[in-house]
Amino acid sequence: MALQMNLGLFQEQRMKMVLTPELRQAIQLLQGSALDLMEHLEEQLAENPLLELEDGADLLRWLEYLDRPGRPAFRADRSVEMPEPEPQTAGPETLAEVLEAQLFEYDLDPVRKRVCRELIHLLDEKGYIDPEWVSVCKRFLVSDEVAEECLGVIQSMDPAGVGARSLAECVEIQLRRRERCHPLAIPIARDHLWDVAEGKWRKIAAALGADVADVQEAVDEIRSCNPKPGAAYTAEAPRYVVPDVIVEKVDGEYAVRLSESEMPGLVVNNSYKALLRGRTSDEETVRYVKNWMQSALWLIRGIEQRRDTIHRVAEAIVNRQREFLDGGMEYLKPLTLKQIAEEVGVHESTVSRVTRGKYMQTPRGLYPFRFFFPSGLSTTAGDDLASGTVKEKIRSIIDGENRQQPLSDRQIAEMLSGEGIRISRRTVAKYREEMGIPSSNGRKRFL
């Protein structure tokens, strides 16, 4: 059976979303933070000859002012002179720097010192030694005994636990440094850490021929050790969060303002405006100026649209979470992006962009926008409770339990149901694990 194809020209109408350069720029402006915006403006001011800041302000000084630690609160009064940026101090020491400084305290021959320096730079961010450390030492043509001796030098340094090859060794190093250590702590750390993680006290006690209460005392000492001794040091300078929105309580009402509203505004250079209004035979110059003029106007409109959208979304969030701002975590309500989008009159994707990577300074503290969108549970009274509120209730119940007879997840769920909170045993277990609280078996005490 042959197939017949009809070829021809046909007309049809289609609706298609096209991302114009102006729309693409508006999306980019909307989803960036206040600091992202100012960095983008710095680039645009350097690139577009028509753009300038009003009143001859210096954007670089604003960037330095907002990006430095210890900055005072934002001020709406632009007439107040900005403080000069403070001199930058040296960043925090890295783990390698701390250990190399201690190396001078050891009386070592040149070869051993070079091996120790090499081992120091093989430590990861947690302070553990690279598994290939022995093969690295062989480049220095030293014996395994000398390599072990050099590793011992590293392990004798502070912070205690650095240079360990495993978590068990890290804990053992710290325990051996202590003047008084429970006699069961080191054997448990060396051979039974997995059982400790699973709360198998009776199994450990049987293996060591000890009392369960003594095992728990030893485990308490093990848990006081630092599993990541190198984590206190960093190779990067600390990053500071600049709030995009500031919420203040004025006369009993919450006022919302944008931090970037205090930034100098953008204007178009008057000399270029005059050039367009005047008559000139140089069409290429006019075309050049018009292109940059269009780009400048798009940017100015995009910034104003960004400010308006962020302000309206922030106000809607504050209105929805007013009880949290008044009373604290217990009053945080479940909230979705769709609810805010419907209230503001924008698409849900717009709210998603507004809330991405931005922070809100409130009388309760500094929070990311997404903090105000928790999932939740319903109550028998028809009210909604945020997951954070339910977690705090679970934590409170566990804090008040009898340690010798800890509550199971099912019992906690039943207690919450008695308070009118609809929650399953699995949800209790999920929230408990997210808070890092062990199961009833792991919480049980034999003392």
Tens of pLDDT, residues 359-376: 999 998 889 998 888 876
H/E stretch holding 247: strand 245-250
> What is the number of other CB atoms lying within 10 angstroms of the CB of residue 130?
14
DSSP string across 320-380: HTHHHHHH-GGGPPP--HHHHHHHHTS-HHHHHHHTTT-EEEETTEEEEGGGG---EEEBT
Taking the C-alpha atoms of residue 274 and residue 272, their distance in angstroms, rounded to an integer, is 5
pLDDT in tens, 333-362: 888 889 899 999 988 888 888 888 889 999
Among the ranges given (105-114, 273-282, 286-295, 417-426), the one the predictor scored with the smallest mean pLDDT: 273-282
With 50 as the cut, is the pLDDT of residue 69 above it? no
- Condensed to tens digits (0 to 9), the pLDDT of residues 138-160 reads 788 888 888 889 999 999 998 89
Q: Which of 436, 438, 410 is nearest to 423 (CA)?
A: 410
Question: What's the length of the chain?
Answer: 447
Q: Answer yes or no: is pLDDT of 440 > 90.
A: no
C-alpha span between 86 and 365 (Å, rounded): 25
Q: pLDDT by residue (tens digit) across 289-314?
A: 778 878 878 888 888 888 889 999 99
| Residue in the structure block whose two tokens are 């910034």 | 303
What's the mean pLDDT in 108-113?
Answer: 88
Domain boundaries along the sequence of the chain = 20-69+241-374, 95-223, 376-443
Average pLDDT, the chain: 78
Q: E strands along 251-345, which residues?
A: 253-258, 266-268
- Reported confidence tier of residue 281, pLDDT bands at 50, 70, 90: low
Stretch among 82-86, 189-193, 243-247 having the lowest mean pLDDT: 82-86
Q: What is the DSSP letter of 105?
A: T
Query: Which are the contacts of 315, defined by CB distance < 8 A and separation ≥ 6?
Result: 256
- Name the more confident of 63 and 135: 135
Looking at residue 76, what is its pLDDT? 33
Mean pLDDT of 101-127: 88
Q: What is the pLDDT of residue 89?
A: 42
> Is residue 272 a contact partner of residue 50, using CB atoms and an 8 Å limit?
yes
Answer yes or no: is pLDDT of 63 > 60.
Answer: no
Comparing 125-139, 149-163, 260-274, 420-434, the range with the smallest average pLDDT is: 260-274
pLDDT of residue 84: 39
pTM confidence score: 0.57
Stretch among 13-17, 79-83, 356-360, 431-435 having the lowest mean pLDDT: 79-83
What's the average model confidence in pLDDT over 23-27?
69
pLDDT higher for 63 or 148? 148
Q: Which one of 271-280, 288-297, 396-405 scores highest in mean pLDDT?
A: 396-405
* pLDDT at res. 285: 74
The percentage of residues in the chain with a pLDDT greater than 70, rounded to a whole number, is 78
If one compares 290 and 59, the residue with the highest pLDDT of the two is 290
- On the question of pLDDT at 288 being above 60, the answer is yes
Predicted local distance difference test score (pLDDT) of residue 87:
39
Question: Which CATH number is correct for 376-443, 3.40.190.10, 1.10.620.20, 3.30.10.20, 1.10.10.60?
Answer: 1.10.10.60
User: Average of pLDDT values for 395-418?
Assistant: 86
- What pLDDT score does 22 carry? 62
204 has a pLDDT exceeding 80: yes
pLDDT recorded at residue 162: 92
What's the pLDDT at 65?
A: 43
Would you say residue 260 has pLDDT above 70?
Answer: no
Distance between CA atoms of 351 and 301, rounded to whole angstroms? Answer: 19
CA pseudo-torsion sign 149, 152, 158, 159: positive
